[in-house]
Amino acid sequence: MKTICGLTLILLGTISSASAESPSSQDKTEIAKPYGVFSSMVTPKSAAHPLCKGLLLRTSWSKLEPRRGRYDFSDIDRQIEVAERSARDPKSLAFSLAISAGLGGGPQGANYPAWLIDEGVETMPIQFRREEGLVPKMWDPLFQKRLKNLADAVSQKFAKDKRLKLVYVPQATANGVEGHFNGNSNAVLARNGLTQDVWVGAVKQAAISFADSFDDCAIAVEVHEVLGSPQIPMRILNELYEDPKYRDQIGAGMWWISGGMKYQPALVEALKKYPGDIYGQIIGNSSQPHRFGDRSGDFTAVYRQAMELDVRYLEAWNFEFDYNTQNQNIENFNKYAHQKYELGVANPPVPTFTKPELTSRGTSRGPRDFQGMRRRPPR
C-alpha cells in the first residue's frame, strides 16, 4: 500500500509538474512580424499609398514623459490621426515605433527627459552632428528602471491596438535609436565607463524590458559598431537569440542599408550569418545617389542587399511613397517578402529591380523641387 501511494504521489507530481510547465509554451503569444516595405515617417501620401505596408511612428522619451510618471501620448496620437485620415482603410494600417532616448541633435534639446538627470542618472559627454551634449549612461540602474517604466506605459497605450507590429529599443546614444556613438573618441567613451561587457549588458537589459512589456510585438535592436568593434553589437544579438524566450521576438535593426560594403563591412558580413530577424531602413532617399552602392549611384542595390541579408522588413524614406519614385521596385520587394516571410516559401523567385531615371526635378510624377526632402527624417 505504501508503494502504491508512493507511485500515486509520483504520478500526481509528474502530472502536476507537466501541467505547470505546459501553459508557458501554450500561452506564448504568437508574434505577427511585419514584412515588406514601410515608410520611415508618417505622411498623408505614404499612408494612402497602396504599396506602403506600414508606417514608422517617430517620437522621443522627452515628449512621451515630460515629467516623471506623467505620460503624454499626443505626439503619437497626432501621427496616427494623420495616417487614419489618409489611409484607404484605417483598420488595415500597420505601425512600427521608434522612441529616441539619446542626444537627438534637434532644436528642442535632448530626446531623453531632463528629469532623468535631476533624479541622479549618471551622464557622459558626447558629440552629435558637431554639437556637444550629455547622454545618460545606459548601464545606470536607475536609467534602466525608468526605461522599463516607459516600456510598460507605452505598451498599455497600445494594449488594444494590434496595428503596432514592431518596436525599436530606445538607446542612450547619439540619436537615441541607432546603436552608435559615431564621431566620438573611443578613448573618451572608455574613460566614461563604456566597455564591451557594460554596453552589451545594458542594451540586452533594455531589449528584454521592451520584449516583456510588448509580449505580442516584434522588438528590434538597431546595431552599429561600438568602440570600433562589430563584436559588441553581434554579442548583443547573438546572446539574445540564444535565449529561447526571446529568440523569436527580438531581432536586429539595421538603419544603414545602402547596397554597399565600404561602411562597416565586418558588421555587414556578421549580419549575413545572424540567424535572427533583421528589420532594415534605407540609409537615404533616391535623390541622393552618392549614398548608394558604394557611390555607384545605383539605388536598386539596396533591395539586392536586403535580400542577401535576409531582411524581412525594409523602411524606405517617405520620399519614395510621396513622389512615386520606386513603385515597381517596392511592389517587387513586397511580393518577394510576402512569399518568403508570410507564406514560408523557402526560395521564392528573385525579383528584378530597375533603376528609374531621376533628376533634380524628380521622376515624371515627382515634384519640381524636392531639395527639402533630401534632409534625413527627424530622429
16 domain-assigned? no
| Distance from C-alpha of 247 to C-alpha of 276, rounded to nearest angstrom | 7
Per-residue pLDDT tens for 244-292?
Answer: 999 999 999 999 999 999 999 999 999 999 999 999 999 999 999 999 9
Residue 291 grid cell: 549614398
Cα distance from N-terminal residue to C-terminal residue, the chain: 72
Provide mean pLDDT across the span 69-82. 98
Please give the biggest Cα pair distance in the chain.
Answer: 92
| Distance from C-alpha of 110 to C-alpha of 102, rounded to nearest angstrom | 7
Q: Which of 110, 92, 280 is nearest to 178 (CA)?
A: 280
Provide mean pLDDT across the span 43-65. 98
Residue 301 corresponds to which amino acid? Answer: A
How many distinct structural domains can be found in the chain?
1
| Distance from C-alpha of 167 to C-alpha of 214, rounded to nearest angstrom | 8
| Distance from C-alpha of 94 to C-alpha of 379, rounded to nearest angstrom | 20
Per-residue pLDDT tens for 175-220?
Answer: 999 999 999 999 999 999 999 999 999 999 999 999 999 999 999 9
Provide mean pLDDT across the span 44-69. 98
Residue 170 grid cell: 530606445
124 domain-assigned? yes
6 domain-assigned? no
State the pLDDT at residue 105. 66
Lowest mean pLDDT among 186-200, 243-257, 296-310, 357-371: 357-371
CB 187 within 8 A of CB 112: no
For the residues of 296-333, what is the DSSP string, one character each?
T--TTHHHHHHHHTTEEEEEEPHHHHHTTSSHHHHHHH
Which pTM value belongs to this model?
0.88
- Run of H or E including 374: none
20 domain-assigned? no
For the residues of 242-259, what is the DSSP string, one character each?
TSTTTTTTEEEEEEEE-S
Provide mean pLDDT across the span 20-38. 69
Among all chains, which residue has been given the C-alpha cell 554579442? 235
CATH of the domain at 336: 3.20.20
3-state class of 39 per DSSP?
strand
Note down the domain range covering 33: 29-374
Q: Among residues of the chain, what percentage have pLDDT more than 70?
A: 86
